[in-house]
Amino acid sequence: MIFGEPTVTEVIIGIAEKILPGGETLVRVDGEAVLVTNAVPGDVVKLQMLAKRRGVQRAEIVEVIEASPERVRAPCPVASECGGCALQFISEENQAAVKSDWVADAFKSLIDSGTKWIQVHPDHGRYRRRVRWFVGHNESETFLGFYAPASHQPVRHSDCMVVSPELNAVRQLIEKNVNLRETDSVQAVQLDDGIHIILEADSCPECNQTDQLGGLPLLWWWCDDKRITRPLKKPARLFHDVLPAGKAEEVRLAIGPDDFVQGQDEGNRELITQIQVWAGSVTRIADLFCGIGNLSLALAAATGARVFGAELNAASVRAASANARELGIFSSFVVANLFEDFDMEPYIGADVLILDPPRRGAKRLCNQMSLLLPKKIIMISCDAAAGRRDGILLLKHGYRLRALRALDMFPYAGHVEAMSLWEQG
């Protein structure tokens, strides 16, 4: 078969080979590669060809002619329609293996005999606590849902299996109490002592606010087209995240509606605990791409260390500084664009440098590691390929990969975190 610009009516047969990072599956058709959603390695599938997207040929499944032994019945009734989860048709154990392989394959050229490897362990019953729903319409109702694959059409859920029961109840509450025809999308963030609900719309939508749901306080916000977030009722207050801070200790961080938090509470706690184990006893922490101090402040509380952080988002820097003051931690958090030149002096020679960059990675910073010279680097890469590219630069600057962990923060999604520990020599 020769690929040109296929029409959507062309139907062909292919064999699924491998699930790729992001969750799409590579399917071979007459020796050519096609990317398909919801295919399982070993499936023989009948495909309907779609237009190329981002220069890559894609298709959708018309029929599973011969199911792979690894294929399972999807636990979600709309799994074939919804684009929120990419791995519904393999078991949780296979998901753990697939995601572990994504990280191990990305870092394989950096791993040596001294590298400790920690793979994903399947954990049942974990839910997302941060969500963004989009407004959809059908013949009978307006509703909140997640987009279908490669589409801006939301899919209706009666009860989403990957978000917390509390957030499912919040969605139903919003559908009953908010004029969704005036709303573009809705975010919700569940924290230890309450839930932020953020209505995203050009003008403030009509809303019958409810202050509590099942005993859990709710705060309602409106985010306008200029990305300015306002409380719909005053006085507004913050909710809190409870984080591990050493043996039998916990700290509370105040979280506002615009503050970034990891999408899963249990996964975030694992992430922070692993950082504390790898960091050990420290007195000086550098935290670049610090956010609200989610990763560094709990470590500082556990060790008594000072924290020096930087982040582009001014609101996050203010939140990090306020949380440090509340915890009695000596800190200096500043606004800086870490992808350009900035004052590196406060971060030189730290006992541990924590790097948590966005998907593009931290190439510029890693290229300057011989100037920063931390004793240890702990890097969290939400894109394993970007983590590998950053790791190659660290290797050139004299650091070695001492530990690597694959951490699944989003069960059933085509996403995995790569945690890496680097030391000099």
Mean pLDDT of 92-98: 95
Residue 247 structure tokens: 């043996």
| 3 pLDDT above the threshold of 50 | no
Residue 23, sorted as left (phi over 0), alpha (psi -120 to 50) or beta, turns out to be left
**Would you place residue 347 in the very low, low, confident or very high pLDDT band (cuts 50, 70, 90)?**
very high
Mean pLDDT of 331-353: 97
**Would you place residue 4 in the very low, low, confident or very high pLDDT band (cuts 50, 70, 90)?**
very low
Give the CB-side neighbour count of residue 162, counting CA atoms within 13 A. Answer: 27
Strands annotated E in 239-343: 239-244, 250-255, 284-288, 306-311, 331-335
| 186 pLDDT above the threshold of 50 | yes
CA dist 408 → 35, 275, 379 (Å): 23, 15, 16
Q: What is the CA radius of gyration of the chain?
A: 23
Helices 92-107 and 384-396 pack at an angle, to 10 degrees, of 30
**Would you place residue 1 in the very low, low, confident or very high pLDDT band (cuts 50, 70, 90)?**
very low
Domain ranges of the chain: 11-71, 93-124+240-424, 130-231
Mean pLDDT of 102-106: 98
Annotated catalytic residue 76: no
Mean pLDDT of 1-18: 67
Residue 28 has phi, psi (to 5 degrees) of -95, 130
Determine the 3-state secondary structure of 320 from DSSP. helix
pLDDT tens track for 233-264: 888 888 999 999 998 799 999 999 999 999 99
Q: What CATH number belongs to 93-124+240-424?
A: 3.40.50.150
The CATH number, out of the four listed (3.40.50.300, 3.40.640.10, 2.40.50.140, 3.60.21.10), of the domain defined by the range 11-71: 2.40.50.140
Cβ-contact 185, 178 below 8 angstroms: no
Helical residues (DSSP H) of 189-313, grouped into ranges: 265-279, 296-303
pLDDT tens track for 106-130: 999 999 999 999 999 987 778 999 9
**Cα gap 171→128, rounded to integer Å:** 14
**Cα gap 286→134, rounded to integer Å:** 37
| 5 pLDDT above the threshold of 90 | no
Lowest mean pLDDT among 143-157, 347-361, 391-405: 143-157
The overall average pLDDT reported for the chain is 93
Residue 337 is classified by DSSP as -
Mean pLDDT of 380-384: 97
| 191 pLDDT above the threshold of 50 | yes
**Residue 87 identity (one-letter amino acid):** L
Residue 227 is classified by DSSP as -
**Residue 38 identity (one-letter amino acid):** N
**Would you place residue 350 in the very low, low, confident or very high pLDDT band (cuts 50, 70, 90)?**
very high
* Catalytic residue (one of 76, 204, 290, 382): 382
- The CATH class given to the 130-231 domain equals mainly beta
| 331 pLDDT above the threshold of 80 | yes
Same CATH fold assignment for domains 93-124+240-424 and 130-231 = no
Give the CB-side neighbour count of residue 115, counting CA atoms within 13 A. Answer: 20
Note the pLDDT of residue 318.
Answer: 95
Note the pLDDT of residue 2.
Answer: 40
